[in-house]
Amino acid sequence: MVVGNYPSESFSEVNAMTANRHTTLDFPLPGIARLSLHDADHSVNVFARELLQEIDAQLESLANNTDVAGLVIVSGKPGSFIAGADLTEFAASLDEPPQVIERVSRDGQNLFRRLSTSSYVTVACIDGICVGGGAELAVWCDRRIVTDNPKTQIGFPEVKLGLFPGWGGTVRTPRIVGLANAVEMITSGANSSANDAYKMGLADDLVPGGAAAADHLLQAAARMIHSERSSGAYLTDRQRWSQPIDMADNELAFLGATAVAMIQQETKGHYPAPVAALELLLEASSVDVDTACKMESEQFVPLFGSPINRSLLNVFFLQDRNKKGAGSDLDAADQPASLGVVGAGTMGQGIAAVSLRRGVEVVLSDNRAPALAAGEQAVLKEAAFDRELKGPNLDKVLELTPRLGITTDSEELGECDLVVEAIIEDVGVKQQLFQAIEPNAKASTVLCSNTSTIPITTLATGLEHPDRVCGLHFFNPVRKMPLVEVIRGKQTSQATIDRAAAFARQLGKSPVVVNDGPGFLVNRLLLPYMNEAAVLLGEGVTIKTIDSAAKAFGMPMGPIELHDVVGLDVCLHAGKVMQQAFSDRVVPTPIVDKLVGEERLGQKNGRGFFDWTKDKKGRWKKQPSEEVGRLVANLATPSQEKHDLSDRLMLPMLVEATLAIEDGIVEDVRDVDLALIMGIGFPPFLGGLFHWADAVGAGVIVEKLKGLKRLGKRYEPSEMLLRHAKSDARFYTSG
């Protein structure tokens, strides 16, 4: 679904202006018309205004052609069909009045419905990504053929933008694949592979991909068109798919109840679009296609331009901006092809495994032979993990083994393009390591540290080439966490930053470049949040109340639970580093010291703020600890003051974020927002910390801080906050 910035004209009224710039109509075989989409403005096909107008014009040109038996719709961009909407145009329409949004939805439906009412058979030939409006175009066709290209995916990701399909996706899909399949596809926003699409009946044929994919698709489509014309099966389906869905009331009720439960479990009630999509799918199943289309358009309107829609669009644009950041323009020959990892512990294993899985040659080093042997096995197991097998694929293990080297001598890593150390957080040990590697390193080798606390400038001290040293801070677990902080020391060159950021992208990560400083960016901003949670415990607020408040705000877990997941010993160490740097804003909290002293380290040893066990599937389960309850009670001094707990937790983080910008850690609020979304799971439906602050308003935030100022400097507004409050400026427009 796409809404362009065209409030006053339908597609057909201006089709002469853009004829053939984005589309080509030819007749490759007798009776077969082929409409090829080749968006002239983007690397992939996206539905923008001009492309839609051309499709309308091309269909109009075929309307009276009685020689056409069938129309084949293909992409002129190999390996990609249609990647959805042009979201820049989409965002430009957010403030259009409701009647305009509804009309554009109806225009889109009417355009694509022509494919299901034409005098000829219509076939979508899909090789590569086919999502959003592309999937809607495909389901309005009579038939769909897909290739076995692993990149061939069909899906409706609109719920990830706070919407549901609005050009007939909710109408046609359940009539083709069944209501249960459509509910799962549309409310989850997940893509279906070519095989899954074929199995559920969304695709009618599956052909080989590769270099000859276009020929395979055309030949299969021609055979299908002639078969359909002969049998008339497509006409039978057109009639059937225009009617209500035949489903018993008790089946409908059961599907609705189970789907609501699943959606609530996944979204925690923070995302309204999946529930709205479910309600529409259920209601529209009992009416004809005309009525269902009208319902889709009407119910689409309240979601479009809503705060959550705007926030999720902001997240999309943050990610898109990041793709064009440092190192994105490096040639493949300049990107690291080999990696040395020092340290075979949890982080070293994770970095090595994700790199090996992405085709990078890896050498793993550890001076402890038993740890190295165990690390080698763990890396191969993780790198070869197969979701369908729910374990390592043995063929993949055999394939990857020759690409993973091991050594107890870290000096042997000098021939690698990039080396990452993930060893003990000891500045002297790390410096000695780099000083041992550098003399044997290539002139182009980049030395990186995965440190979360030690300044990169300090680690580069004494090296001959400090310009080739940077931070490459991964987050745990590496396989899941998308963020990598690329940290620039005082002498780090731009070439080093570019190569490190490019490497992070090779691994499928989102690199955010930050300048050197205590805690860098994410940990610097995370500490006030976690510190305040410990302060609240000292004021007599319960663990359950604190964590519940954070999750109600939208955080994936509460800050007390997060202490356990990170490791209380790690939190204690990081807290001391940050307290040395920011003593006026970090409050000493005895509870973490006490727990570490009692050997309660968190999830890692099963004992932290909670007691932890693993179930039969190896998943961690937590239980409240009576011992911790007593410890907290003994250390607490209950406060009679009552504050909004989300303000207590989030405002110190926001204050620190503005101070980090003032300190030059990053220059743009968008870097902060992306880093917190990707690094700590800040709620995407709020769009990021500064996007949320804009929604609240700087003036309101400063007033809230005034009410909390007696608690200390961490609630004192920065100059940046005061400036924005005074001018009523938004962070996203004035920086």
What pLDDT is attached to residue 695? 96
Decide if pLDDT at 557 tops 70.
yes
Decide if pLDDT at 60 tops 70.
yes
Average pLDDT over residues 636-645: 87
Q: Name the helix (H) or strand (E) containing 331.
A: none
Question: Residues 301, 343: one domain?
Answer: no
126 domain-assigned: yes
Give the model's confidence band at 639: pLDDT under 50 very low, under 70 low, under 90 confident, else very high. Answer: confident
- Looking from the CA of 31 toward its CB, the CA atoms found within 13 Å total 14
Give the model's confidence band at 526: pLDDT under 50 very low, under 70 low, under 90 confident, else very high. Answer: very high
What pLDDT is attached to residue 360? 95
Residue 313 amino acid letter: L
Give the model's confidence band at 691: pLDDT under 50 very low, under 70 low, under 90 confident, else very high. Answer: very high
Decide if pLDDT at 592 tops 60.
yes
* Contact indicator for 684, 315 with CB cutoff of 8 Å: yes
16 domain-assigned: yes
Which of 514, 534, 567 is a domain's end point? 514
Quote the domain boundaries for residue 77. Answer: 11-305
Give the model's confidence band at 596: pLDDT under 50 very low, under 70 low, under 90 confident, else very high. Answer: very high
Least confident of 353-357, 386-390, 408-412: 386-390
Catalytic: which of 42, 226, 465, 473? 473
Q: What distances in angstroms separate CA 558 from CA 478, 553, 682, 689, one per listed residue?
A: 21, 10, 11, 17
Q: Is 0.75 topped by the overall pTM?
A: yes
What pLDDT is attached to residue 13? 36
Question: Residues 561, 659: one domain?
Answer: yes
- Note the pLDDT tens digit of each residue in 716-734: 999 999 999 999 999 998 5
Decide if pLDDT at 11 tops 90.
no
What pLDDT is attached to residue 389? 83
What pLDDT is attached to residue 34? 96
Cα(278)–Cα(186) distance, integer angstroms: 8
- Greatest alpha-carbon span in the chain: 87
Q: What distances in angstroms separate CA 535 from CA 252, 259, 354, 467, one per listed residue?
A: 49, 40, 37, 41
| DSSP secondary structure letter of residue 415 | G
- Cα torsion 52, 58, 59, 64 to 10°: value is 160
Residue 617 amino acid letter: K
252 domain-assigned: yes
Q: What distances in angstroms separate CA 407 from CA 39, 185, 350, 368, 428, one per listed residue?
A: 50, 47, 17, 10, 22
Question: Residues 79, 151: one domain?
Answer: yes
- Asked if 473 is an active-site residue, the reply is yes
Cα(277)–Cα(170) distance, integer angstroms: 8
- Looking from the CA of 82 toward its CB, the CA atoms found within 13 Å total 30
Which of 305, 323, 353 is a domain's end point? 305
What pLDDT is attached to residue 143? 98
- Joined together, the tokens standing for residue 227 give 């078969």
The residue that leads in pLDDT, 387 or 545, is: 545
Strand bridging mode 205-207 / 192-193: unpaired
Question: Residues 559, 503: one domain?
Answer: no
Question: Residues 649, 506: one domain?
Answer: no
What pLDDT is attached to residue 4? 36
- Joined together, the tokens standing for residue 317 give 């644009």
Question: Residues 481, 536: one domain?
Answer: no
Strand bridging mode 610-614 / 620-624: antiparallel
Peptide bond into 477 cis (omega under 30): yes
Decide if pLDDT at 15 tops 50.
no
Q: Is the dihedral of CA 234, 235, 240, 242 positive or negative?
A: positive
Q: What distances in angstroms separate CA 657 from CA 461, 522, 571, 654, one per listed residue?
A: 28, 9, 19, 5
Percent of the chain with pLDDT over 90: 89
* Contact indicator for 478, 354 with CB cutoff of 8 Å: yes
- Joined together, the tokens standing for residue 478 give 């590496």
Q: Is the dihedral of CA 356, 358, 360, 366 positive or negative?
A: negative
Question: Residues 126, 271: one domain?
Answer: yes
Which of 479, 514, 549 is a domain's end point? 514
67 domain-assigned: yes
Query: For the domain that residue 298 is a member of, what is the CATH number?
Result: 3.90.226.10
326 domain-assigned: no
DSSP per-residue letters across 153-164: EEE-GGGGGT--
Is residue 490 helix, strand or coil? coil
Q: E strands of 603-656, at which residues?
A: 610-614, 620-624
- Joined together, the tokens standing for residue 279 give 């309600």
Question: Residues 428, 472: one domain?
Answer: yes
What pLDDT is attached to residue 211? 92
Cα(79)–Cα(7) distance, integer angstroms: 33
Give the model's confidence band at 611: pLDDT under 50 very low, under 70 low, under 90 confident, else very high. Answer: very high
Decide if pLDDT at 405 tops 90.
yes
Decide if pLDDT at 662 tops 50.
yes
Question: Residues 346, 289: one domain?
Answer: no
199 domain-assigned: yes
322 domain-assigned: no
Q: How many domains does the chain have?
A: 3
Question: Residues 109, 126: one domain?
Answer: yes
Query: For the domain that residue 388 is a member of, what is the CATH number?
Result: 3.40.50.720
Question: Residues 210, 267: one domain?
Answer: yes
Cα(286)–Cα(304) distance, integer angstroms: 25
Q: What is the mean pLDDT of the chain?
A: 93
316 domain-assigned: no
Give the model's confidence band at 20: pLDDT under 50 very low, under 70 low, under 90 confident, else very high. Answer: confident
Decide if pLDDT at 388 tops 50.
yes
- Joined together, the tokens standing for residue 372 give 């190295």
Neighbour count for residue 257 (Cβ, 10 Å): 10
DSSP per-residue letters across 583-611: TTT----HHHHHHHHTT--BGGGTBSSEE
What pLDDT is attached to residue 334? 79
- Note the pLDDT tens digit of each residue in 194-220: 999 999 999 999 999 999 999 999 999
- The shares of helix, strand and coil residues in the chain, as percent rounded to the nearest 5, are 55, 15, 30
Question: Residues 422, 398: one domain?
Answer: yes
Is residue 717 helix, strand or coil? coil
- Note the pLDDT tens digit of each residue in 310-367: 999 999 999 999 999 998 998 877 788 999 999 999 999 999 999 999 999 999 999 9
What pLDDT is attached to residue 90? 86
Name 394's Cβ contacts closer than 8 Å, sequence gap at least 6. 384
- Note the pLDDT tens digit of each residue in 427-456: 999 999 999 999 999 999 999 999 998 999
Query: For the domain that residue 686 is a member of, what is the CATH number?
Result: 1.10.1040.50
